[in-house]
Amino acid sequence: MSLELAELKQQKFLNFCFKIKGKAMNNRVSLIGVPSDIGASDRGASMGPEALRVAGLTRILEKQGCTVKDIGDVTGPKNPERPPVDGYRHLEENVIWAKNIHDAIYGEMDQGNFPIMMGGDHAMSIGSVAAVANYCAKNDKPVCMLWIDAHADFNTSETSPSGNIHGMPVAVAVGLGHPDLLSIGHAIPMVPPKNVYQVAIRSVDKNEKLLVIKSGIKVYDMRHIDEIGIRKAMQEILQDVADKGAHLHVSFDVDSLDPPIAPGVATTVPGGLTYREAQLCMEMVHDSGLMGSLDIAEINPALDIKNGTAKIAVDLTASLFGRQIFPNHKL
């Protein structure tokens, strides 16, 4: 196949699949560390931000043409390691962390920067989603959320077997949860359920599943991905986001990946995304030009092997920011 024909076929593919004209993403990146495992039972995710730094996140983003500012770490209460109370583990501490995260991310977005939150357990996304939703409301722009995760994270105090708040952020985002968590956003819900897309789901608690079904969020679990492929799943999601003219917040939990390639997480679930499925997902998000903010969650160096999980997360982040096997698919 000639170079010209290959380029033409690729352009037709993009036009046909997305029916949108991709735009350049904001390349003024702010890295925000969240060294917290306050929302989880297992300790260790608090070391995730430094693992990402050591794995070269700044360097690889700069290679993609980004101007990168690492603003350091958000601070908050230490993990008291207490049992749940009324269905919530460490509620007060989680609220403080979420408010501090909100303020840090909102401040960076208000300066025109693209925030990347480096976690940290996934409870941190309550603060990040609240900040993104508040910023988008101020600028009269709808917000959509792409949740890439092995878990639905849709528990409430009534459905959660553990009380861990890292299993609740999607529920909080769509308006279900403790008032102190819900109040961090500008409105309830922070994100309308119809604007939430979940990818790679394969572990959902029994009563949590009923809430997910009732909510109307769009779930692409691993069986569905096996049947239609990650390409079609992402085409459908990105087309919907484009049609809404929305800001896309991507929340990437590394446990979405198959455990053999990403062992450094506390909640591994067999049968996750392969490396190439995950990379294509990220490449397609980049090509759409829709992403405006990013979470990287649940890296646990205490369970990792030679920082391999952080390195894979950094590698996939590079794909989110435009790294391809051949730039612009020019073969």
Catalytic residue among 151, 178, 247, 249: 151
Q: Verify cis geometry, omega within 30 degrees of 0, for the bond prior to 35.
A: no
The one catalytic residue among 73, 255, 283, 287 = 255
> Of residues 37, 93, 208, 253, which has the active-site annotation?
253
The tokens for 272 are 């996750």
d(CA 317, CA 311): 10
Please indicate whether residue 149 is annotated as part of the active site: yes
Active site residue 208: no
Of the residues 37, 102, 121, 122, only one is catalytic, namely: 122
Residue 304 is a catalytic residue: no
Question: Would residue 298 show up in a list of annotated catalytic residues for this protein?
Answer: yes
Phi-psi region of 4 (alpha: psi -120 to 50; beta: other; left: phi over 0): alpha
Residue of 166, 178, 247, 249 marked active site: 166
Q: Which long-range contacts (CB under 8 A, 24 or more apart) does 211-216 make?
A: 211/154, 211/155, 211/156, 211/159, 211/171, 211/176, 212/152, 212/154, 215/154, 215/174, 215/176
Q: Is residue 186 flagged as an active site residue?
A: no
Task: Dump the DSSP string for 236-256.
Answer: HHHHHHHHHT-EEEEEEEGGG
Catalytic residue, chosen from 37, 121, 153, 208, is 153
Catalytic annotation present for 103:
no
Measured at the CA of 202, the angle between CA 199 and CA 203, to 5 degrees, comes to 120
Give catalytic status of residue 151 as yes or no. yes
* Contact (Cβ atoms closer than 8 angstroms) between residue 30 and residue 294: no
Question: Do residues 263 and 304 make contact, with C-beta atoms less than 8 angstroms apart?
Answer: yes
Active-site residue 253, yes or no? yes
Which residues participate in catalysis according to the annotation? Answer: 122, 149, 151, 153, 166, 253, 255, 298
